[in-house]
Amino acid sequence: MFKFFIQRQWMHWSILGTFIILFSTWYQVQIDVAINEWFGGFYDNLQKALAEPGSLSAAEFYGSLASFGWLAAKFIVIMVATKYFVSHWIFRWRTSMVEYYHDKFKYARGLEGASQRIQEDTIKFARIMEDLGVGLMDSIMTLIAFIPILIGLSAAVTHLPILGEVSNSLMWVALATALGGTMLLAAVGIKLPGIEYDIQKREAGYRKVLVHAEDDPKAGQPKTLAELFDWVRNIHFKSYMHYAYFNLARYSYFQGMVLVPYLALGPTILAGTITLGALQQTIRAFGRVESSLQYVVKSWAVVVELISVWKRLREFELCIAKGEKA
């Protein structure tokens, strides 16, 4: 699966491509930091204009909006260009996997669903890695950029509810709630990767019989197909039950997290020691840090699918290795 990064013919894509993706992701985060600063100044100006009519000129107001438009335009262009490049980069990764599997297919053709591993699982693996990989890099760089900002903004937050004075308070609140939620949902959804793996195996067995039935009518006897489909239905119904309580926990957590920054800032807001611009900037920075720390939680459904695909491809590669030794 990861020979893409060590095969000589793919070095220019794997190494140079990774650097380009890292740089463009870093640049997007820098624009996001600039946008966060813009929000602080813009809302402070709004507060001033509403409190003192005429204190903000039309040129200043529309100029501020134009500066945001320029930042947003740069962000959109870089984001679209990055996604375009990543799609090509990921397909090269898939190509390196497929070429290896083509060459070794004779050693694993007896494995159930072998053709599915090459055609379907490789494209799933590529697409999941595209989403998760870039998202992970973005989350890490966002943390690097916004943690110092959030720590600086925490200086204005003198007290936390119940706890009182806490140094770097907002950073600790974001860390505690994000890691707590990650651990909670990981525990609640611990059975999901295995269930997803079983779903793919049973679907592969059902599909294999249907394909054979196209050439051999005996393979597609109604009783055989009905039994296989019952097998498929049972595992799907099992997954629905497990996803139901997992989604209940996940959505409850996310809805509750909407209130966390306001609860943490409650004493500061009530004391009137923070401006509207600083409040908006703080909440936005808190959201960026918290969202990055919650990366695994928000991507858990995709992580489950990745684990399932990885297990199937790993099984395929072990079968190839066993066949080569035979």
Cβ(307)–Cβ(193) under 8 Å? yes
Query: Tell me, what's the pLDDT at 283?
Result: 85
Q: Is pLDDT at 147 greater than 90 in this prediction? A: no
pLDDT above 70 (res 199): yes
- CA-CA distance, 232 to 306, in Å (whole number)? 20
How far apart CA 130 and CA 145 sit, in angstroms, is 22
- DSSP state, 155? G
Q: Nearest to residue 95, comparing CAs of 71, 119, 131?
A: 119
- How many domains does the chain contain in total? 1
pTM of the model: 0.66
Asked if 36 and 286 touch (Cβ cutoff 8 Å), the reply is: no
Residue 142 binned pLDDT confidence (cut-offs 50, 70, 90): confident
Question: In the prediction, which pLDDT does 104 show?
Answer: 72
**pLDDT for position 70:** 94
Given this model, what pLDDT does residue 77 score? 93
Check residue 66 and give its pLDDT.
92
Give the Å distances, CA to CA, from 299 to 128, 133, 165, 174, 322. Answer: 10, 11, 34, 18, 34
pLDDT digits 0-9 by tens, 292-325: 877 777 777 777 778 778 877 887 778 777 777 7
Tell me the mean pLDDT in the region 214-239.
Answer: 74
User: How wide is the angle at C-alpha 94 spanned by C-alphas 93 and 97, nearest 5°?
Assistant: 95
Q: Is the pLDDT of residue 112 over 70?
A: no
User: From start to end of 113-226, where are the E strands?
Assistant: none
Burial of 136 (0-12, 13-18, 19+ CB in 10 A): middle
**What local confidence, expressed as pLDDT, does residue 223 receive?**
60
Per residue in 267-279, pLDDT (tens digit) is 888 877 777 888 8
Q: What is the CATH number of the domain that holds 274?
A: 1.20.1560.10
Which residue range forms the structural domain that includes residue 12?
3-325
Predicted local distance difference test score (pLDDT) of residue 76:
92
Region 102-119 average pLDDT: 68
- The top-scoring range by mean pLDDT among 68-77, 230-239, 269-278 is 68-77
Distance in angstroms (rounded) separating the CA atoms of residues 126 and 1: 10
Q: Inform me whether the pLDDT recorded for 28 exceeds 80.
A: yes
Q: Which of 97-111, 140-154, 277-291 has the lowest mean pLDDT?
A: 97-111
DSSP codes of every residue in 217-244: GGGG-HHHHHHHHHHHHHHHHHHHHHHH
Residues in CB range of 299: below 8 A, 6 or more apart: 131, 132, 135
At 69 the pLDDT is 92
pLDDT at 108 over 70: no
Q: Is 164 helix (H, G, I), strand (E, B) or coil?
A: strand
What region, left, alpha or beta, does residue 307 occupy, with left being phi > 0 and alpha being psi -120 to 50 degrees?
alpha
- Indicate the length of the chain as a whole number: 326
Instruction: Locate 84 and state its tokens.
Output: 């375009």
How much is the mean pLDDT over the chain?
80
Handedness of CA 191, 192, 193, 195 (dihedral sign): positive
